[in-house]
């Protein structure tokens, strides 16, 4: 028999891990509700054409692409935004704006597996469609701030920027979209010298290169002074100045909202996805040099998918990386012991009664783990003790005749005979102390 393993880059989530994943997912769902985002579910498999339309070379080259049995070119989604843009251009075309949409699920990228980098991972995704105003940009950062806090993370910080600042210079130099995208991609990977070489060979003026060179050195946590320095550097580039003003306005809104999380303004910051047109941000923790989440404004994407020109801003968070960061910061909330009791028939022939009582207790809201191994009572009790149950309900013939059961408290080592209806009240504190 072959020794089966998971495919490279794919992981099992065992009990505990899976529970923590769902916990973060649920926290994200609560945040979505708090901010008015409605949940949608989109397919894991989409057309290759849709997913590669504006994903950027990096993501495109790492997609799981295949032909389905009908010969269609399809791919596993590497992110949610393309699916949302498709919906906004079609089924949700005539729905009143703004639209706030939330999704959560697995996404797939053929990344090199390492700590915090997998080929199948989970994202929570929020898209705010239809507003070009800075309040919308601020909202995506603020909900990220809240989600990070709600998961229990203590130390995290934002990196913020605006693709319009660098783009303004590249546009003024007359570069095509593809040269702009290639230059931003290199800058995103901090390969600045390669980026400067590229724009030089594409015909950039030396002033253009000098401006880009001083821009990528600008970073700081003092929002006002850093943005002022950036604005000064790009003073001759009207579009870049506007972008810097827009960034300043968004960050002022964030600060005025009461957000106290550290913000580092970074003028050389450019995110990997090609579709960003404005404000961009990422969230980091000190002990991991990979982002826990990232987002930004993409005002051109929806028309690219055949929709009306529609401004939009969104953010995606990596659930696996949030879980990693929580482990690292040891702030993980202690796992609540499930509020479950065990029901044990004291004799084999009472199994149908045990099933019936278990159902009756579940009807009353009790979580019940039924003994189904045909074990003798002593063994079943030993097992219940080992697994940490506080209460065991014993089903015996004599008690059942009276509509009662024996409730055994494994911690206090005592037992009582109670009517079945009284059990829920008795075992309210069924967690071990």
Residues in touch with ligand AMP (CB under 6 A): 79, 109, 111, 116-118, 121, 123, 272-273, 291-294, 316, 318, 320-321
Task: Kindly state the smallest distance separating residue 81's Cβ from ligand AMP, in Å.
Answer: 8
Structure letter (DSSP) for residue 35: T
In the bound state with ligand AMP, the residue whose beta carbon lies nearer, of 124 and 430, is: 124
Q: Are 271 and 296 in contact, with CB atoms under 8 Å apart?
A: yes
Q: Are 239 and 278 in contact, with CB atoms under 8 Å apart?
A: no
**Would you call 114 exposed, middle or buried from its count of C-beta atoms within 10 A (0-12, 13-18, 19+)?**
exposed
In the bound state with ligand AMP, the residue whose beta carbon lies nearer, of 114 and 201, is: 114
In the bound state with ligand AMP, the residue whose beta carbon lies nearer, of 322 and 361, is: 322
Task: Name the residue whose CB lies closest to ligand AMP.
Answer: 318
3-state SS assignment for residue 317:
strand
Token digits for 38? Answer: 């409605």
In the bound state with ligand AMP, the residue whose beta carbon lies nearer, of 27 and 123, is: 123
Task: Kindly state the smallest distance separating residue 315's Cβ from ligand AMP, in Å.
Answer: 8
Task: Kindly state the smallest distance separating residue 278's Cβ from ligand AMP, in Å.
Answer: 15
Task: Kindly state the smallest distance separating residue 24's Cβ from ligand AMP, in Å.
Answer: 12
| Separation CA 60–CA 307 (nearest Å) | 22
3-state SS assignment for residue 398:
helix
> Quick one: residue 221, left, alpha or beta (phi over 0 = left, psi -120 to 50 = alpha)?
alpha
3-state SS assignment for residue 66:
strand
Taking alpha carbons only, the member of 118, 85, 109, 123 closest to residue 311 is 85
In the bound state with ligand AMP, the residue whose beta carbon lies nearer, of 40 and 400, is: 40
In the bound state with ligand AMP, the residue whose beta carbon lies nearer, of 315 and 358, is: 315
Taking alpha carbons only, the member of 187, 37, 210 closest to residue 125 is 37
Q: Are 157 and 283 in contact, with CB atoms under 8 Å apart?
A: yes
> Token match 């909330």: residue?
333
Task: Kindly state the smallest distance separating residue 118's Cβ from ligand AMP, in Å.
Answer: 4
Q: Helices marked H in 173-270 — which ranges?
A: 177-188, 192-201, 206-215, 223-233, 238-256
Task: Kindly state the smallest distance separating residue 381's Cβ from ligand AMP, in Å.
Answer: 43
Task: Kindly state the smallest distance separating residue 185's Cβ from ligand AMP, in Å.
Answer: 12
In the bound state with ligand AMP, the residue whose beta carbon lies nearer, of 162 and 321, is: 321
């Amino acid at each position: 028999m072959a020794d089966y393993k998971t495919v490279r880059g794919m992981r099992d989530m065992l009990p505990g891990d899976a529970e923590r994943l769902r916990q973060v997912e649920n926290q994200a769902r609560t945040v979505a509700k708090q901010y008015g985002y409605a949940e949608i579910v989109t397919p894991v498999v989409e057309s290759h054409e849709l997913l590669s339309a504006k994903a950027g070379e990096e993501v495109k080259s790492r997609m799981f692409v295949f032909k389905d049995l009908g010969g269609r070119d399809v791919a596993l989604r590497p992110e949610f935004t393309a699916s949302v843009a498709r919906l906004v251009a079609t089924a949700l075309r005539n729905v009143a704006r703004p639209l706030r949409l939330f999704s959560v699920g697995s996404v797939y990228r053929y990344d090199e597996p390492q700590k915090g980098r997998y080929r199948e991972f989970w994202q929570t995704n929020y898209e705010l469609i239809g507003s070009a105003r800075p309040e919308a940009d601020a909202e995506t950062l603020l909900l990220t701030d809240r989600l990070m806090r709600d998961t229990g993370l203590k130390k995290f910080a934002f990196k913020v920027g605006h693709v319009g600042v660098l783009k303004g210079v590249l546009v003024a130099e007359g570069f095509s979209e593809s040269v702009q995208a290639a230059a931003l991609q290199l800058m995103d990977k901090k390969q600045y010298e390669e980026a400067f070489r590229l724009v030089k060979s594409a015909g950039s003026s030396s002033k253009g290169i000098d401006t880009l060179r001083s821009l990528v050195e600008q970073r700081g946590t003092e929002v006002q002074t850093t943005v002022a320095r950036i604005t000064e550097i790009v003073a001759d580039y009207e579009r870049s100045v506007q972008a810097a003003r827009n960034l300043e306005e968004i960050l002022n809104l964030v600060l005025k909202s009461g957000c106290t999380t550290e913000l580092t303004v970074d003028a050389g910051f450019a995110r990997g996805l090609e579709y960003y047109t404005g404000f961009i941000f990422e969230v980091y923790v000190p002990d991991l040099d990979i982002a826990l989440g990232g987002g930004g404004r993409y005002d051109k994407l929806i028309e690219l998918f055949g929709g009306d020109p529609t401004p939009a801003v969104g953010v995606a968070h990596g659930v696996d990386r949030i879980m990693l960061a929580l482990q690292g910061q040891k702030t993980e909330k202690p796992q609540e012991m499930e509020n479950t009791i065990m029901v044990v028939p004291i004799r084999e022939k009472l199994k149908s009664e045990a099933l019936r009582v278990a159902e009756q207790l579940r009807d009353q809201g009790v979580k019940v783990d039924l003994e189904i191994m045909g074990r003798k009572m002593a063994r079943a009790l030993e097992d219940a003790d080992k697994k940490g149950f506080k209460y065991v309900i014993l089903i015996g013939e004599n008690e059942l005749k009276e509509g009662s059961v024996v409730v055994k408290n494994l911690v206090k080592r005592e037992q009582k005979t109670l009517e079945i209806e009284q059990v829920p009240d008795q075992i309210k504190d069924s967690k071990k102390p």
